[in-house]
Amino acid sequence: MGPSQTIEAFEQELAVWLDASDAPDFSDAVAWSRRLGEVSLLAPDWAPEHGGLGLERAYVKVLEAALRELGHHLHHLLQRRHVTGVGIAADEVSRIFERFYQVSKDAGARDLLVLAGDSHCYWQNELYDAAGESMGVELGATGITAPRGLLEIGPEGLSRYDELNAERNREVVWTEGRYRGFIRLEIDHDGAHADYVTVTNVESRDYDVQIVRSVDIKSNDGTLQYV
């Protein structure tokens, strides 16, 4: 499959591939992700040098429609945008982090407290360099107004998706994508305390807030750790 085809030809070849691809049940998102990845369909609009097909949006829409018609939710994976989606290969992302960590270590700092935001889900991460040395922690805030792109799989599906994210990634301690809100952070010389706060309603001034998770962070052996 490639961008040189007409949309009609691409649609036909896609249908043939999906029909002939003897893949597991569509509920097995991991297996299907691997199948789609084999033909660069998980990143169809990325440039070929970065592992994609270089497809225009019209072709991507055909792919999304085909997957949606099959009755599963993998089409949402096509809508995800990470730093690699702006023209940086995954291995280059790792090198960027390593360079950042090295600059930090050269400055005598392994106690990084990284704050991230607008990722459409909450994150509580631990940071490690390539050698496995602790470099600190990261707190990621969800969005206030923009919802998450995976909402159609439902609350239970989102919860399980986030659990698997944490189970399969050493750095991810906890993640939660069902809410919108912010992080309230208190810092002193000995550590920090963070509350993950949700907002029940962003469409009017009639809303409530609720803390869904609280974490304490302490300085220990030259780095930062969760208590």
What are the boundaries of each domain within the chain? 7-86, 107-226
Listed range (31-40, 75-84, 203-212) with the worst mean pLDDT: 75-84
Structure tokens at 221: 């052996």
The residue ranking higher by pLDDT, 54 or 101, is 101
Question: What pLDDT, in 10s, does the model give residues 7-52?
Answer: 888 888 888 877 776 555 555 555 666 666 666 666 676 666 656 6
For 110, which DSSP code?
B
**Could you identify the residue written with the tokens 């949006």?**
57
| Residue 183 vs residues 56, 142, 144, 206: alpha-carbon distances, Å | 37, 8, 11, 20
- pLDDT grade for 147, boundaries at 50, 70 and 90: low
Q: How far is Cα 214 from Cα 139, in angstroms, rounded to an integer?
A: 11
Helices 7-20 and 57-69 sit at what angle, rounded to 10 degrees? 30
- Give the per-residue pLDDT at 82: 38
φ/ψ bin of 35: left (φ > 0), alpha (ψ from -120 to 50), beta (otherwise): alpha
The residue ranking higher by pLDDT, 63 or 173, is 173
CB 64 within 8 A of CB 78: yes
Task: From 60, 65, 79, 66, select the one nearest 149 (Cα to Cα).
Answer: 79
Average pLDDT over residues 75-91: 46
- Give the per-residue pLDDT at 149: 62
| Residue 130 vs residues 5, 90, 99, 127, 183: alpha-carbon distances, Å | 41, 14, 11, 10, 28
Strands 112-116 and 134-140: parallel
Maximal CA-CA distance, the chain: 63
Q: How far is Cα 199 from Cα 180, in angstroms, rounded to an integer?
A: 6
Which residues, including other chains, have CB under 8 Å from residue 49's CB and lie 6 or more apart? 89
Q: In the Cβ-directed half-sphere of 213, how many Cα atoms lie within 13 Å?
A: 20
The residue ranking higher by pLDDT, 156 or 221, is 221
Question: What pLDDT, in 10s, does the model give residues 152-202?
Answer: 667 787 788 788 888 888 899 999 988 889 999 999 988 999 999 998 888
Give the distance, in angstroms, between the CA of residue 71 and the centroid of all CA atoms in the same chain: 23
